[in-house]
Structure 1
Amino acid sequence: MLEVRGLRAGYGGTEVLRGVDLDVGPGEIVAVLGANGVGKTTLNKALSGIVPPAAGEIRFEGRPITAAAPDAIVAAGLIHVPEGRKIFPNLSVHENLVLGSYRRGRARRAANLERVFSTFPRLRERRAQGAGTLSGGEQQMLAIGRGLMAEPRLLILDEPSLGLSPLLVEEMFGLIQRLNREGLPIMLVEQNVVQSLDLATRAYILENGSVALSGEARRLAADPALRRAYLGL
Protein backbone atom coordinates (compact mmCIF):
# COMPACT_ATOMS: atom_id res chain seq x y z
CA MET A 1 0.00 0.00 0.00
CA LEU A 2 2.82 2.38 0.87
CA GLU A 3 6.16 2.45 -0.94
CA VAL A 4 8.97 4.78 0.10
CA ARG A 5 12.22 4.92 -1.87
CA GLY A 6 15.30 7.00 -1.18
CA LEU A 7 13.41 9.51 0.95
CA ARG A 8 15.39 12.53 2.09
CA ALA A 9 13.89 15.35 4.11
CA GLY A 10 14.73 17.85 6.81
CA TYR A 11 14.39 21.40 8.01
CA GLY A 12 16.24 24.28 6.42
CA GLY A 13 19.77 23.11 5.74
CA THR A 14 19.57 20.21 8.19
CA GLU A 15 18.96 16.80 6.63
CA VAL A 16 17.11 14.45 8.97
CA LEU A 17 16.09 11.57 6.68
CA ARG A 18 18.97 10.21 4.66
CA GLY A 19 17.59 7.87 2.03
CA VAL A 20 14.83 5.90 3.78
CA ASP A 21 13.31 2.88 2.01
CA LEU A 22 10.25 1.12 3.45
CA ASP A 23 7.01 -0.62 2.47
CA VAL A 24 3.67 -1.32 4.13
CA GLY A 25 1.51 -4.04 2.57
CA PRO A 26 -2.23 -4.70 2.86
CA GLY A 27 -3.25 -6.11 6.22
CA GLU A 28 0.11 -5.52 7.89
CA ILE A 29 1.23 -3.86 11.06
CA VAL A 30 4.64 -2.42 10.21
CA ALA A 31 6.64 -0.98 13.09
CA VAL A 32 9.09 1.88 12.60
CA LEU A 33 11.28 1.95 15.69
CA GLY A 34 14.08 4.06 17.06
CA ALA A 35 15.14 6.41 19.81
CA ASN A 36 14.30 10.11 20.00
CA GLY A 37 15.88 12.21 17.27
CA VAL A 38 16.42 9.50 14.64
CA GLY A 39 13.83 10.90 12.23
CA LYS A 40 10.61 9.04 13.03
CA THR A 41 8.39 12.12 13.31
CA THR A 42 10.04 13.73 10.28
CA LEU A 43 9.23 10.57 8.32
CA ASN A 44 5.58 10.82 9.34
CA LYS A 45 5.43 14.49 8.41
CA ALA A 46 6.98 13.78 5.01
CA LEU A 47 4.49 10.99 4.36
CA SER A 48 1.65 13.35 5.35
CA GLY A 49 2.82 16.19 3.12
CA ILE A 50 3.70 18.51 6.00
CA VAL A 51 7.46 18.41 5.36
CA PRO A 52 8.31 18.42 1.63
CA PRO A 53 10.80 15.70 0.65
CA ALA A 54 14.12 16.90 -0.73
CA ALA A 55 14.56 13.70 -2.73
CA GLY A 56 13.06 10.25 -3.19
CA GLU A 57 9.61 8.92 -3.97
CA ILE A 58 6.47 8.11 -1.98
CA ARG A 59 3.69 6.04 -3.55
CA PHE A 60 0.37 5.21 -1.90
CA GLU A 61 -1.73 2.43 -3.41
CA GLY A 62 0.35 2.74 -6.58
CA ARG A 63 -0.09 6.51 -6.99
CA PRO A 64 2.74 9.02 -6.45
CA ILE A 65 2.11 11.37 -3.52
CA THR A 66 5.65 12.74 -3.09
CA ALA A 67 4.59 16.29 -3.95
CA ALA A 68 0.93 16.03 -2.88
CA ALA A 69 -0.62 18.51 -0.45
CA PRO A 70 -1.68 17.30 3.01
CA ASP A 71 -5.41 17.54 2.24
CA ALA A 72 -4.98 15.43 -0.92
CA ILE A 73 -3.08 12.80 1.06
CA VAL A 74 -5.88 12.68 3.65
CA ALA A 75 -8.46 12.45 0.86
CA ALA A 76 -6.58 9.42 -0.51
CA GLY A 77 -6.96 7.66 2.86
CA LEU A 78 -3.46 7.95 4.34
CA ILE A 79 -4.31 9.15 7.86
CA HIS A 80 -1.73 10.25 10.43
CA VAL A 81 -2.45 10.32 14.17
CA PRO A 82 0.36 12.59 15.37
CA GLU A 83 2.64 12.33 18.36
CA GLY A 84 1.28 14.19 21.36
CA ARG A 85 -2.37 13.60 20.30
CA LYS A 86 -2.89 17.18 18.98
CA ILE A 87 -6.56 17.24 19.95
CA PHE A 88 -8.50 20.51 20.17
CA PRO A 89 -8.72 20.96 23.97
CA ASN A 90 -11.38 23.68 23.92
CA LEU A 91 -13.78 21.61 21.82
CA SER A 92 -15.90 18.71 23.04
CA VAL A 93 -15.14 15.06 22.38
CA HIS A 94 -17.96 14.98 19.83
CA GLU A 95 -16.69 18.09 18.03
CA ASN A 96 -13.16 16.69 17.84
CA LEU A 97 -14.47 13.48 16.28
CA VAL A 98 -16.65 15.33 13.77
CA LEU A 99 -13.60 17.30 12.63
CA GLY A 100 -11.92 13.99 11.78
CA SER A 101 -14.38 13.59 8.90
CA TYR A 102 -13.94 17.13 7.56
CA ARG A 103 -11.94 16.04 4.49
CA ARG A 104 -12.88 12.37 4.17
CA GLY A 105 -15.73 10.17 5.41
CA ARG A 106 -18.30 12.95 5.74
CA ALA A 107 -21.06 11.01 3.97
CA ARG A 108 -20.89 8.20 6.57
CA ARG A 109 -20.18 10.42 9.56
CA ALA A 110 -23.00 9.07 11.75
CA ALA A 111 -22.06 5.43 11.15
CA ASN A 112 -18.37 6.14 11.71
CA LEU A 113 -19.16 8.01 14.90
CA GLU A 114 -21.07 5.01 16.19
CA ARG A 115 -18.14 2.75 15.28
CA VAL A 116 -15.75 4.98 17.23
CA PHE A 117 -18.06 5.00 20.26
CA SER A 118 -18.35 1.21 20.06
CA THR A 119 -14.55 0.94 19.95
CA PHE A 120 -14.08 3.48 22.77
CA PRO A 121 -17.10 3.34 25.11
CA ARG A 122 -15.47 5.91 27.39
CA LEU A 123 -15.67 8.48 24.60
CA ARG A 124 -19.40 7.88 24.31
CA GLU A 125 -19.75 8.59 28.02
CA ARG A 126 -17.74 11.81 27.61
CA ARG A 127 -19.01 12.98 24.23
CA ALA A 128 -20.13 16.39 25.56
CA GLN A 129 -17.07 16.85 27.77
CA GLY A 130 -14.25 19.25 26.88
CA ALA A 131 -11.42 17.29 25.28
CA GLY A 132 -8.81 19.11 27.36
CA THR A 133 -10.31 17.70 30.56
CA LEU A 134 -9.82 14.06 29.52
CA SER A 135 -7.09 11.86 30.98
CA GLY A 136 -4.00 11.14 28.89
CA GLY A 137 -5.29 7.73 27.90
CA GLU A 138 -8.69 9.11 26.95
CA GLN A 139 -7.06 11.83 24.86
CA GLN A 140 -5.10 9.17 22.99
CA MET A 141 -8.34 7.28 22.36
CA LEU A 142 -9.85 10.51 21.06
CA ALA A 143 -6.90 11.12 18.73
CA ILE A 144 -7.18 7.61 17.28
CA GLY A 145 -10.97 7.89 17.08
CA ARG A 146 -10.63 11.15 15.17
CA GLY A 147 -8.33 9.34 12.73
CA LEU A 148 -10.85 6.53 12.30
CA MET A 149 -13.53 9.08 11.41
CA ALA A 150 -11.62 9.71 8.17
CA GLU A 151 -12.06 6.07 7.05
CA PRO A 152 -8.32 5.38 6.75
CA ARG A 153 -6.99 3.06 4.07
CA LEU A 154 -3.72 3.11 6.06
CA LEU A 155 -3.34 4.50 9.59
CA ILE A 156 -0.04 5.96 10.81
CA LEU A 157 0.19 6.00 14.61
CA ASP A 158 3.01 8.17 15.97
CA GLU A 159 4.05 7.16 19.51
CA PRO A 160 0.55 6.07 20.68
CA SER A 161 1.94 4.72 23.97
CA LEU A 162 3.82 7.92 24.88
CA GLY A 163 3.04 9.13 28.39
CA LEU A 164 0.64 6.31 29.22
CA SER A 165 0.75 4.09 32.29
CA PRO A 166 1.86 0.45 31.76
CA LEU A 167 -1.76 -0.71 32.06
CA LEU A 168 -2.95 1.77 29.44
CA VAL A 169 -0.02 0.86 27.17
CA GLU A 170 -1.22 -2.75 27.23
CA GLU A 171 -4.74 -1.55 26.43
CA MET A 172 -3.49 0.63 23.58
CA PHE A 173 -1.50 -2.17 21.95
CA GLY A 174 -4.50 -4.47 22.28
CA LEU A 175 -6.62 -1.89 20.50
CA ILE A 176 -4.08 -1.60 17.66
CA GLN A 177 -4.12 -5.36 17.22
CA ARG A 178 -7.92 -5.39 17.17
CA LEU A 179 -8.11 -2.64 14.53
CA ASN A 180 -5.65 -4.55 12.39
CA ARG A 181 -7.61 -7.79 12.72
CA GLU A 182 -10.64 -5.87 11.45
CA GLY A 183 -8.68 -5.21 8.26
CA LEU A 184 -6.92 -1.89 8.86
CA PRO A 185 -3.23 -1.72 7.83
CA ILE A 186 -1.19 0.20 10.41
CA MET A 187 2.23 1.82 10.41
CA LEU A 188 3.21 1.93 14.07
CA VAL A 189 5.95 4.46 14.87
CA GLU A 190 7.23 3.83 18.38
CA GLN A 191 10.06 3.86 20.89
CA ASN A 192 8.52 0.86 22.64
CA VAL A 193 10.60 -1.78 20.88
CA VAL A 194 9.61 -4.95 22.74
CA GLN A 195 5.82 -4.62 22.52
CA SER A 196 5.91 -3.20 19.00
CA LEU A 197 7.92 -6.14 17.69
CA ASP A 198 5.57 -8.53 19.47
CA LEU A 199 2.65 -6.94 17.62
CA ALA A 200 4.08 -6.16 14.18
CA THR A 201 4.37 -8.24 11.03
CA ARG A 202 7.58 -6.51 9.95
CA ALA A 203 9.73 -3.71 11.33
CA TYR A 204 12.28 -1.08 10.41
CA ILE A 205 14.85 0.26 12.86
CA LEU A 206 15.91 3.85 12.20
CA GLU A 207 19.28 5.24 13.20
CA ASN A 208 20.57 8.68 12.22
CA GLY A 209 17.86 9.15 9.61
CA SER A 210 18.31 5.88 7.76
CA VAL A 211 17.21 2.25 8.10
CA ALA A 212 19.76 0.30 10.14
CA LEU A 213 17.83 -2.98 10.35
CA SER A 214 14.66 -4.31 8.72
CA GLY A 215 12.80 -7.56 8.30
CA GLU A 216 10.25 -9.80 9.95
CA ALA A 217 9.45 -8.61 13.45
CA ARG A 218 10.10 -11.98 15.08
CA ARG A 219 13.51 -12.24 13.44
CA LEU A 220 14.46 -8.71 14.46
CA ALA A 221 13.37 -9.36 18.06
CA ALA A 222 16.01 -12.12 18.19
CA ASP A 223 18.71 -10.10 16.37
CA PRO A 224 21.81 -9.76 18.60
CA ALA A 225 22.59 -6.25 17.32
CA LEU A 226 19.11 -5.01 18.12
CA ARG A 227 19.06 -6.70 21.51
CA ARG A 228 22.36 -5.02 22.43
CA ALA A 229 21.36 -1.59 21.12
CA TYR A 230 17.77 -1.40 22.36
CA LEU A 231 17.23 -4.04 24.99
CA GLY A 232 20.59 -3.91 26.80
CA LEU A 233 21.11 -7.64 26.37
Structure 2
Amino acid sequence: MLEVRDLVAGYGLTRVLEGVSLQVGAGEIVAVLGSNGAGKTTLNMAVSGLVRPRAGEVRFEGANITGRSPAEIMGLGLIQVPEGRKIFPNLTVRENLELGSYRRAKANRARNLERVFLTFPRLKERVAQAAGTLSGGEQQMLAIGRGMMAEPKLLILDEPSLGLSPLLVEEMFGLIRRLHSEGLAIMLVEQNVAQSLDIADRAYVLENGGFALSGPAAQVREDPELKRAYLGL
Protein backbone atom coordinates (compact mmCIF):
# COMPACT_ATOMS: atom_id res chain seq x y z
CA MET A 1 0.00 0.00 0.00
CA LEU A 2 2.73 2.43 0.99
CA GLU A 3 6.16 2.57 -0.60
CA VAL A 4 8.84 5.08 0.40
CA ARG A 5 11.90 5.21 -1.85
CA ASP A 6 15.19 6.94 -0.97
CA LEU A 7 13.44 9.69 1.01
CA VAL A 8 15.45 12.73 2.07
CA ALA A 9 13.72 15.31 4.31
CA GLY A 10 14.44 17.89 6.98
CA TYR A 11 13.87 21.44 8.17
CA GLY A 12 15.71 24.52 6.97
CA LEU A 13 19.39 23.66 6.64
CA THR A 14 19.00 20.49 8.73
CA ARG A 15 18.64 17.13 7.00
CA VAL A 16 16.88 14.61 9.21
CA LEU A 17 16.21 11.68 6.87
CA GLU A 18 19.01 10.48 4.63
CA GLY A 19 17.53 8.33 1.89
CA VAL A 20 15.20 5.96 3.77
CA SER A 21 13.10 3.32 2.03
CA LEU A 22 10.26 1.22 3.45
CA GLN A 23 7.11 -0.62 2.46
CA VAL A 24 3.78 -1.34 4.15
CA GLY A 25 1.64 -4.03 2.56
CA ALA A 26 -2.13 -4.47 2.74
CA GLY A 27 -3.22 -5.85 6.12
CA GLU A 28 0.23 -5.53 7.72
CA ILE A 29 1.39 -3.94 10.94
CA VAL A 30 4.79 -2.44 10.22
CA ALA A 31 6.67 -0.96 13.18
CA VAL A 32 9.07 1.96 12.78
CA LEU A 33 11.18 2.01 15.94
CA GLY A 34 13.73 4.45 17.25
CA SER A 35 14.65 6.80 20.06
CA ASN A 36 13.79 10.49 20.33
CA GLY A 37 15.41 12.52 17.56
CA ALA A 38 15.93 9.55 15.24
CA GLY A 39 13.59 11.04 12.61
CA LYS A 40 10.40 9.04 13.15
CA THR A 41 8.02 12.00 13.23
CA THR A 42 9.77 13.62 10.26
CA LEU A 43 9.15 10.42 8.31
CA ASN A 44 5.45 10.52 9.23
CA MET A 45 5.16 14.16 8.27
CA ALA A 46 6.88 13.63 4.94
CA VAL A 47 4.62 10.69 4.11
CA SER A 48 1.54 12.71 5.12
CA GLY A 49 2.51 15.79 3.11
CA LEU A 50 3.27 18.02 6.10
CA VAL A 51 6.97 18.17 5.19
CA ARG A 52 8.00 18.36 1.54
CA PRO A 53 10.70 15.76 0.73
CA ARG A 54 13.95 17.10 -0.72
CA ALA A 55 14.51 13.91 -2.69
CA GLY A 56 12.98 10.48 -3.09
CA GLU A 57 9.43 9.34 -3.65
CA VAL A 58 6.33 8.36 -1.68
CA ARG A 59 3.77 6.09 -3.37
CA PHE A 60 0.38 5.06 -2.01
CA GLU A 61 -1.60 2.28 -3.69
CA GLY A 62 0.66 2.67 -6.71
CA ALA A 63 0.17 6.44 -7.13
CA ASN A 64 2.98 8.93 -6.64
CA ILE A 65 1.87 11.23 -3.80
CA THR A 66 5.21 13.01 -3.30
CA GLY A 67 4.60 16.71 -2.79
CA ARG A 68 0.80 16.46 -2.65
CA SER A 69 -1.04 18.46 0.00
CA PRO A 70 -1.96 16.88 3.35
CA ALA A 71 -5.66 17.25 2.47
CA GLU A 72 -5.19 15.35 -0.81
CA ILE A 73 -3.23 12.57 0.87
CA MET A 74 -5.78 12.27 3.66
CA GLY A 75 -8.54 12.13 1.04
CA LEU A 76 -6.90 9.03 -0.44
CA GLY A 77 -7.24 7.18 2.87
CA LEU A 78 -3.75 7.58 4.32
CA ILE A 79 -4.60 8.82 7.81
CA GLN A 80 -2.17 9.85 10.55
CA VAL A 81 -2.90 9.93 14.29
CA PRO A 82 -0.21 12.40 15.39
CA GLU A 83 2.14 12.25 18.33
CA GLY A 84 0.68 14.02 21.35
CA ARG A 85 -2.93 13.30 20.25
CA LYS A 86 -3.61 16.87 18.99
CA ILE A 87 -7.25 16.78 19.99
CA PHE A 88 -9.32 19.98 20.24
CA PRO A 89 -9.61 20.37 24.03
CA ASN A 90 -12.49 22.87 24.07
CA LEU A 91 -14.68 20.82 21.73
CA THR A 92 -16.75 17.85 22.88
CA VAL A 93 -15.87 14.24 22.20
CA ARG A 94 -18.56 14.10 19.49
CA GLU A 95 -17.32 17.28 17.82
CA ASN A 96 -13.73 15.97 17.75
CA LEU A 97 -14.89 12.72 16.18
CA GLU A 98 -17.08 14.43 13.60
CA LEU A 99 -14.12 16.57 12.50
CA GLY A 100 -12.36 13.33 11.57
CA SER A 101 -14.84 12.91 8.70
CA TYR A 102 -14.66 16.52 7.52
CA ARG A 103 -12.56 15.70 4.45
CA ARG A 104 -13.33 12.01 3.91
CA ALA A 105 -16.28 9.65 4.56
CA LYS A 106 -18.67 12.45 5.55
CA ALA A 107 -21.61 10.54 4.08
CA ASN A 108 -20.91 7.65 6.47
CA ARG A 109 -20.46 9.82 9.55
CA ALA A 110 -23.30 8.34 11.62
CA ARG A 111 -22.30 4.74 10.85
CA ASN A 112 -18.63 5.39 11.58
CA LEU A 113 -19.50 7.18 14.81
CA GLU A 114 -21.30 4.06 16.01
CA ARG A 115 -18.31 1.94 15.02
CA VAL A 116 -16.01 4.17 17.08
CA PHE A 117 -18.36 3.91 20.07
CA LEU A 118 -18.38 0.12 19.76
CA THR A 119 -14.59 0.14 19.76
CA PHE A 120 -14.33 2.73 22.57
CA PRO A 121 -17.38 2.46 24.86
CA ARG A 122 -15.81 5.02 27.21
CA LEU A 123 -16.03 7.67 24.50
CA LYS A 124 -19.76 7.05 24.15
CA GLU A 125 -20.14 7.58 27.89
CA ARG A 126 -18.33 10.94 27.54
CA VAL A 127 -19.79 12.02 24.19
CA ALA A 128 -20.85 15.49 25.40
CA GLN A 129 -17.78 16.05 27.60
CA ALA A 130 -15.05 18.55 26.65
CA ALA A 131 -12.13 16.58 25.21
CA GLY A 132 -9.61 18.44 27.34
CA THR A 133 -11.15 16.99 30.51
CA LEU A 134 -10.52 13.37 29.45
CA SER A 135 -7.71 11.28 30.91
CA GLY A 136 -4.57 10.71 28.84
CA GLY A 137 -5.70 7.25 27.81
CA GLU A 138 -9.15 8.50 26.82
CA GLN A 139 -7.61 11.31 24.78
CA GLN A 140 -5.52 8.75 22.90
CA MET A 141 -8.67 6.72 22.24
CA LEU A 142 -10.31 9.89 20.94
CA ALA A 143 -7.39 10.63 18.62
CA ILE A 144 -7.51 7.11 17.17
CA GLY A 145 -11.31 7.26 16.96
CA ARG A 146 -11.06 10.53 15.04
CA GLY A 147 -8.71 8.80 12.60
CA MET A 148 -11.15 5.90 12.21
CA MET A 149 -13.91 8.34 11.26
CA ALA A 150 -12.09 8.94 7.96
CA GLU A 151 -12.29 5.24 7.00
CA PRO A 152 -8.49 4.81 6.71
CA LYS A 153 -6.95 2.39 4.25
CA LEU A 154 -3.64 2.82 6.10
CA LEU A 155 -3.46 4.24 9.62
CA ILE A 156 -0.20 5.79 10.84
CA LEU A 157 0.00 5.80 14.64
CA ASP A 158 2.72 8.11 15.96
CA GLU A 159 3.76 7.16 19.51
CA PRO A 160 0.28 5.98 20.67
CA SER A 161 1.64 4.70 24.02
CA LEU A 162 3.50 7.93 24.88
CA GLY A 163 2.70 9.18 28.38
CA LEU A 164 0.35 6.33 29.27
CA SER A 165 0.53 4.18 32.40
CA PRO A 166 1.77 0.58 31.95
CA LEU A 167 -1.80 -0.71 32.25
CA LEU A 168 -3.07 1.69 29.58
CA VAL A 169 -0.10 0.84 27.35
CA GLU A 170 -1.20 -2.81 27.46
CA GLU A 171 -4.74 -1.74 26.61
CA MET A 172 -3.52 0.43 23.72
CA PHE A 173 -1.50 -2.37 22.14
CA GLY A 174 -4.48 -4.70 22.56
CA LEU A 175 -6.59 -2.17 20.66
CA ILE A 176 -4.04 -1.93 17.85
CA ARG A 177 -4.06 -5.70 17.56
CA ARG A 178 -7.88 -5.64 17.35
CA LEU A 179 -7.91 -2.98 14.62
CA HIS A 180 -5.40 -5.03 12.67
CA SER A 181 -7.54 -8.17 13.04
CA GLU A 182 -10.29 -6.28 11.21
CA GLY A 183 -8.00 -5.96 8.19
CA LEU A 184 -6.64 -2.46 8.73
CA ALA A 185 -3.05 -1.80 7.60
CA ILE A 186 -1.11 0.03 10.33
CA MET A 187 2.25 1.79 10.39
CA LEU A 188 3.15 1.89 14.08
CA VAL A 189 5.80 4.47 14.97
CA GLU A 190 7.01 3.85 18.51
CA GLN A 191 9.78 4.01 21.09
CA ASN A 192 8.22 1.02 22.87
CA VAL A 193 10.34 -1.59 21.11
CA ALA A 194 9.40 -4.83 22.89
CA GLN A 195 5.61 -4.49 22.67
CA SER A 196 5.70 -3.13 19.13
CA LEU A 197 7.69 -6.14 17.96
CA ASP A 198 5.20 -8.45 19.67
CA ILE A 199 2.36 -7.28 17.41
CA ALA A 200 4.17 -6.22 14.20
CA ASP A 201 4.65 -8.30 11.06
CA ARG A 202 7.79 -6.41 10.04
CA ALA A 203 9.93 -3.71 11.59
CA TYR A 204 12.40 -0.98 10.74
CA VAL A 205 14.81 0.54 13.27
CA LEU A 206 15.62 4.19 12.58
CA GLU A 207 18.90 5.67 13.80
CA ASN A 208 20.44 9.01 12.83
CA GLY A 209 18.18 9.49 9.83
CA GLY A 210 18.60 6.02 8.32
CA PHE A 211 17.38 2.48 8.89
CA ALA A 212 19.98 0.57 10.85
CA LEU A 213 17.97 -2.65 10.80
CA SER A 214 14.87 -4.04 9.09
CA GLY A 215 13.12 -7.34 8.50
CA PRO A 216 10.45 -9.64 9.94
CA ALA A 217 9.61 -8.60 13.51
CA ALA A 218 10.73 -11.93 14.98
CA GLN A 219 14.09 -11.62 13.24
CA VAL A 220 14.59 -8.00 14.32
CA ARG A 221 13.72 -8.94 17.92
CA GLU A 222 16.57 -11.45 18.01
CA ASP A 223 19.19 -9.09 16.60
CA PRO A 224 22.04 -8.75 19.15
CA GLU A 225 22.54 -5.03 18.50
CA LEU A 226 18.86 -4.26 19.02
CA LYS A 227 18.82 -6.28 22.25
CA ARG A 228 21.82 -4.33 23.52
CA ALA A 229 20.71 -0.84 22.47
CA TYR A 230 16.96 -1.00 23.12
CA LEU A 231 16.14 -3.93 25.36
CA GLY A 232 19.14 -3.73 27.71
CA LEU A 233 20.09 -7.38 27.15
What is the TM-score of this pair, normalised by structure 1? Answer: 1.00
Q: How does 1:190-209 map to 2 (within 5 A)?
A: 190-209=190-209
Distance 1:138 1:228 in 2: 34
Distance 2:197 2:32 in 1: 10
Distance 2:50 2:159 in 1: 18
Kindly provide the CA deviation profile for residues 127-159 of structure 1, in whole angstroms up to 9, marking residues without a partner as x. 000000000000000000000000000000000
Q: Which residue of 1 aligns with 2:142?
A: 142
Q: Count matched residues.
A: 233
Q: How does 1:216-227 map to 2 (within 5 A)?
A: 216-227=216-227
1:137 match: secondary structure: helix
Q: Which residue of 1 aligns with 2:68?
A: 68
Q: Which residue of 1 aligns with 2:167?
A: 167
Kindly provide the CA deviation profile for residues 155-174 of structure 1, in whole angstroms up to 9, marking residues without a partner as x. 00000000000000000000
Distance 1:232 1:133 in 2: 37
Kindly provide the CA deviation profile for residues 212-233 of structure 1, in whole angstroms up to 9, marking residues without a partner as x. 0000000110111110111111
Distance 1:3 1:44 in 2: 13
Q: Which residue of 1 aligns with 2:128?
A: 128
Q: How does 1:71-150 map to 2 (within 5 A)?
A: 71-150=71-150
Query: 2:158 aligned with 1:158, yes or no?
Result: yes
Q: Which residue of 1 aligns with 2:45?
A: 45
Distance 1:214 1:164 in 2: 27
Q: Given residue 15 of structure 1, which amino acid in structure 2 is its aligned partner?
A: R
Kindly provide the CA deviation profile for residues 24-58 of structure 1, in whole angstroms up to 9, marking residues without a partner as x. 00110000000000000000000110000000000
Distance 2:121 2:230 in 1: 35
Distance 1:131 1:4 in 2: 34
1:160 match: secondary structure: coil
Q: Which residue of 1 aligns with 2:229?
A: 229
The percentage of aligned residue pairs carrying the same residue is 75
Q: Given residue 10 of structure 1, which amino acid in structure 2 is its aligned partner?
A: G
- Structure 2 spans left out of the alignment, 5+ residues: none
Q: Which residue of 2 aligns with 1:11?
A: 11
Query: 2:20 aligned with 1:23, yes or no?
Result: no
Q: Which residue of 1 aligns with 2:36?
A: 36
Distance 1:24 1:59 in 2: 11
What is the TM-score of this pair, normalised by structure 2? Answer: 1.00
Aligned-pair CA distance for 1:80: 0.2
Distance 1:89 1:232 in 2: 38
2:230 match: secondary structure: helix
Distance 2:48 2:21 in 1: 16
Kindly provide the CA deviation profile for residues 191-212 of structure 1, in whole angstroms up to 9, marking residues without a partner as x. 0000000010000000001000
Q: Which residue of 2 aligns with 1:57?
A: 57
